[in-house]
Structure 1
Amino acid sequence: MGEYRTGTAGSADGTVIGYRTLGSGPAVLLVHGGMKAAQHLMELARVLSDGFTVHVPDRRGRGPSGAHGADFGVRREVEDLQALAAATGATRIFGLSSGALVTLRTALETPSLDRIALYEPPLSVGGSAPVGWVPRYEREIAAGKLSAALVTSLKGLGTEPVFGRVPRFLLVPFLTVGARLQRGRADGDVSIPDLVPTLGYDMRVIREMADTAPDYAGLKTDVLLLEGAKSPVYLHQAVDALSAVLPRSRRVTFPGLGHEGPEDEGDPRSVGAALRDFFADPA
């Protein structure tokens, strides 16, 4: 953990949100997506850290951050990002997946944020985002079948093509072993078994923000829309919808990337280069 500093911000409802910090320069927030944590954006943070002070929060329910709470919804996530922006002085923010949805809604309500970058927000357009798998996932979570719930979500979301091609009866035991091996990590990262149950809360965000693209027609902030060419169609439909309504946006498509593009296992250098140019641009 010596490579980064840690900090906390207090959200409006009293929930503590923890974050990692590295680098120096103008402050930037990097907001992870569903079933992920701060650890998954650390390579991207390193790419940006020579020109920016990069803050990478763990969203609610993960690591040092507090629980989601009984009244969790988009409002709570917006309050969390507003608290983080106030605590760090960040005016630039990047969000991935469900983190991009929350970032988008926060930008609408937070004039101090003047550079917004979004990678594939799963904004449902006329039912485009797949949610039919969620009831099965919820039953498996309730029964303590975390590996089965993980497989259900991976196949349901379609963001990991390899998992979509492997039969469930092979995936479940494989992921069970992997989760057991990772559970003992002591480096500040959040384990897979702890991350799987958080996805249900991200699906609440997706359902709550469905068909809200027209809301952003009045957003005057500069927005960079990012996508991977290999990602599922519904994610491109979301970017299409936002591109059509946002008055000050531009779009970048990465030919060889999928939904995991900004993450450590994707290509954070390519995504980071685009973010560096966008966040440094004074225009």
Structure 2
Amino acid sequence: MCKVKSGDGTPIAYRRSGEGPPVILVGGAFSTAESEAPLARLLAPRFTTITYDRRGRGASGDRAPYAVEREVEDLAALLAAAGGSAALYGVSSGGALVLEAVAAGLPVTQFAVYEPPYATDPAALRARAAYTERLTELLARGLRDDAVELFLSAMELHPATIEVMRRSPLWADLAAVAHTLAYDNQVLGEGLIPLRRLSAVTTRAMIVDGGASPPVVRDAARAAARALPRGRHRTLTGQTHEVAPHVLAPVLEEFFAA
């Protein structure tokens, strides 16, 4: 892996593959550079793909206190390493980070986001506040396993499914980056779509959702697309939040190549 130094000196580890216009892939909760590798391989024949470990994960460093601005600076360092500008793709909370980066004025040529996990109903903010309070408490007490379970429960995974995951080798990897759940949570701000900030973004954009995802998720994707002056919306039939790379890749390829 290669490394760049972010604005605060934190080393950010990344992988580069393929040839063509650069595209940086930004993962969501729990993800590392390896998580986005299948999508990167599919895009590599036409694009230079950059996957990276967000701060606090994998081979990247970390520095307290956390602030969303530091993750935006991480992306700025990667954009510089990519040649000064690039397209961005982000999934879930990584998509929200992409929106923050573009709104901050980073040199992004175009961007695509898959299902940013914003709320569209202010009533949902009460549940979000309770989640934030509980997550903060668990992480402060070092209860990483419980923090992971809390997040998965908030994602509406069935308790039996979570129990199976607890007994799998994957669980240790999730617990190792449990502290970054607080980072993803902060990226979402108050939880509602930042409509005013997005309305000032003039970069060409595409917001994507899955046709089999819950209505609230799809509503948020459509609302985000409408808020962006050059935004378009796309639904992938039959897909859920765990979008299949081979379904997503041709859609991104078409958009980024235009």
Equivalent residue, structure 2, for 1:223 = 205
Question: How far is the alpha carbon of 1:156 from its aligned partner?
Answer: 0.8
1:187 match: none
- RMSD (Å), alpha carbons: 2.1
How many residues in Structure 1 have an aligned counterpart in Structure 2? 254
**CA apart distance, 1:220:** 1.2
> What amino acid is aligned across from residue 211 of structure 2 in structure 1?
A
> In percent, how many aligned pairs have the same letter?
32
Query: What are the superposed Cα offsets for residues 218-251 of structure 1, whole Å, 9 maximum, x if unpaired?
Result: 2111101111122233322321221222111111
TM (normalized to structure 1)? Answer: 0.82
The aligned residue for residue 162 of structure 2 is 171
Partner Cα distance (1:208, 1:16) in 2: 28
Give the whole-Å Cα distance in 2 for the aligned partners of 1:208 and 1:67.
24
1:153 to 151, 154, 164: 151
Of 76, 92, 98, 1:97 maps to 92
Contact 2:148 2:175 survives alignment (8 Å): no
- Aligned to 1:101, what secondary structure does the other structure show? helix
Matching of residue 78 in structure 1 with residue 78 in structure 2 = no
In the alignment, is residue 36 of structure 1 matched against residue 31 of structure 2? yes
Instruction: Give CA-to-partner distance per residue, 1:6-53, whole Å, 9 cap, x none.
Output: 211211111111111111111110000012211111100000011111
> How do 1:62-77 residues align onto structure 2 when only pairs under 5 Å count?
62-70=57-65, 72-77=66-71
After superposition, give the CA deviation of every residue in 1:232-278 in whole Å (9 maximum; x if it has no partner).
Answer: 333223212212221111111112111121xxxxx101101100111
Change (3 A) 1:68 1:227: farther
User: Structure 2 vs 1, CA of residues 143 and 177 (structure 1 numbering), >3 Å: closer, same or farther?
Assistant: farther
In the alignment, the residues of structure 1 paired with residue 155 and residue 171 of structure 2 have an alpha-carbon distance, to the nearest angstrom, of: 23
Q: Give the structure 2 partner of residue 278 of structure 1.
A: 255
Mark the CA change 1:116 to 1:148 in structure 2 (over 3 Å): closer, same or farther. Answer: same
Amino acid at match of 1:81: L
Runs of 4+ in 1 over 6 A off after TM superposition: none
SS at match of 1:55: strand
Asked if the contact 2:28/2:95 (under 8 Å) is kept, the reply is yes
| TM-score, L = length of structure 2 | 0.89
Gaps of 5+ in 1: 1-5, 184-190, 262-266
Partner residue, 2:176 = 194
Q: Cα–Cα, structure 1 residues 12 and 144, in superposed 2: closer, same or farther, change >3 Å? A: closer
Residue 110 in structure 1 maps to residue 109 in structure 2: no
> Aligned pair 1:204/2:211, yes or no?
no
Distance 1:182 1:237, change over 3 A: closer
In 1: Cα distance, 2:189 partner to 2:178 partner: 18
